Amino acid sequence: MRTLIKNGNIVTTSQTYKADLLIENEIIKAIGDFSNETADEIIDATRKYIIPGAIDAHTHMNLKQSERFTSVDSFYTGGVAAACGGTTTIIDHIAFSAPGSNLHTSINHYYELAKDCAIDYAFHGVIQHINDDIINEMEGLVLNEGITSFKAYSTYGYPISDDGFLRILTSMKKTGGVLTVHCENHGITNYLKDDFVKNGKLAAKYHPLSRPNYTESETVGRLIQISELAGDSNLYIVHTSAKESLEQVRLARKKGIKNLRVETCPQYLFLTDDVYDKEDKESLKYIMAPPLRKKEDNVALINAIKDNTIDVVATDHCPFMLEQKLEGIGDFSKAPGGVAGVEERVMLMFTNMVSTGQITENEFVKIMCENPAKIFGMYPKKGTLTIGSDADIVIINPNNKSKIKRENLHSNCDYSIYEGFDVSCSIDNVFLRGKTIVKDGEFVGEKGYGKFIKRKPLI
């Protein structure tokens, strides 16, 4: 099957130029002027951008958060939503298993969960406890099985101790693995939450007050210091939300720390904590951790994208139905935490960052495609428009205005936190390894077409 995309504006991290792109046998075969070339399918991309398939490095499909709550997108439905939003690869964070489980217990379960995925996928292993067996297993996964990144938490049910983090990061330094960390101070957030509940402060507006900025930034600073102690190990801070955390990152980089990477998400760029002041039936939609912050945090995060302090914009896609969220009426702490966003991400970032001139389309490709591919060991197979790379390609119409409406989205979630947001672009066509999976904005791919991507260590 030969597909020719003609007359488009090809976007790389360094330049934008008009050219034709030829796809053959799942890869990018050639880029140039192919006016006289024949193909099985020819697509006219005049006045449109051609970018690499976006990579979402932070999703939670089929996440069992508790005995009561499991996120409502499967790898199939979440993959369809991602595809329609211009994302062709996800890296999913594996959920906790039973206490004492080894890493393969949950990984093997996720291979089964993901077999119907509509797009390509990889996994971040999850670390619940530390001992010699876990360290050895983790190193084997990095070096032999293509699972090169892991998630650890400083909070929730299995908070890792400082000495545990040091052991993990020392191992990462040895193998080239990457440790991703959810950074919130476990003791303080639990104390504040319990104190609010005990004193009858149960409305959603107390959720952000129970997880203030310093509970994130304190932990970010501590993890950076531990990674430095481990020899400047590969540390990746997920869903950064607080301006004070950025100060910790800049300080570390000024000191010469090179292997620190930082992620944020659209909700922390474009929404603020005033949504928690609405009545609970509305405000509970926005329960997530970390919570939404102030406008000054939005501004600081946007500036951090512009000055390269932030490396990646992902989603933390972890949706629940409104009915599930409303379990928090009368006690905000009982609402499941997480929101959808895997379909909205590319459009929101293009609209609010590229169309407004905050960043160039080339910088957009860097944070949405190339950086996550490089950090997580998929480059140049993924994340770039290069001859020989997978033909993961998105055609964006940069001048097609609309509004985000839940009825037009593909996630199982029955609401969008971005309902009514203006977008300036549309995702017209998406290719995954050369196969059309989105045509004229509609999913035309196949259940189970996605492949597990074995990744390389970050050395």
Q: How many domains does the chain have?
A: 2
Asked if residue 454 is part of any domain, the answer here is no
Q: Return the H-helix or E-strand segment holding 7.
A: strand 2-11
Say if residue 69 is in the same domain as residue 150.
yes
Res 459 pLDDT > 90: no
**CB-CB contact of 237 with 261 (8 Å):** yes
Res 424 pLDDT > 90: yes
Say if residue 47 is in the same domain as residue 132.
no
Say if residue 434 is in the same domain as residue 358.
no
Asked if residue 456 is part of any domain, the answer here is no
- DSSP3 helix / strand / coil % (the chain, rounded to 5): 35, 20, 40
pTM of the model: 0.98
Q: Is 230 helix (H, G, I), strand (E, B) or coil?
A: coil
Place of tokens 């211009």: 86
**Which CATH number do you get for residue 150?**
3.20.20.140
Say if residue 234 is in the same domain as residue 364.
yes
Inter-CA distances, 399 with 22, 74, 87, 428, Å: 24, 32, 19, 11
The pLDDT of 434-439, averaged and rounded, is 98
The region, left, alpha or beta by phi > 0 then psi within -120 to 50, assigned to residue 338 is: left
Q: What pLDDT does residue 36 have? A: 87
What residue numbers bound the domain in which 135 lies?
53-375
Say if residue 93 is in the same domain as residue 165.
yes
In whole angstroms, what separates CA 420 from the centre of its chain? 22
Asked if residue 78 is part of any domain, the answer here is yes
List, as one string, the DSSP characters of 35-51: TT---SEEEE-TT-EEE
Mean pLDDT of the chain: 98
The pLDDT of 305-334, averaged and rounded, is 98
**Which CATH number do you get for residue 44?**
2.30.40.10
Which pLDDT band, with edges at 50, 70 and 90, does 67 fall under?
confident
Say if residue 344 is in the same domain as residue 428.
no
Round to whole Å and give the CA distance between 126 and 217: 22
**CB-CB contact of 293 with 208 (8 Å):** yes
Say if residue 83 is in the same domain as residue 11.
no
Strand partners, 121: 90, 452
Say if residue 45 is in the same domain as residue 68.
no
Q: What pLDDT does residue 251 have? A: 99
- pLDDT, one tens digit per residue, over 350-385 is 999 999 999 999 999 999 999 999 999 999 999 999
- pLDDT, one tens digit per residue, over 267-312 is 999 999 999 999 999 999 999 999 999 999 999 999 999 999 999 9
Q: What pLDDT does residue 35 have? A: 87
Res 348 pLDDT > 90: yes
Interacting residues of 265 by C-beta distance below 8 A, sequence separation 6+: 58, 239, 313, 314, 315, 316, 341, 345
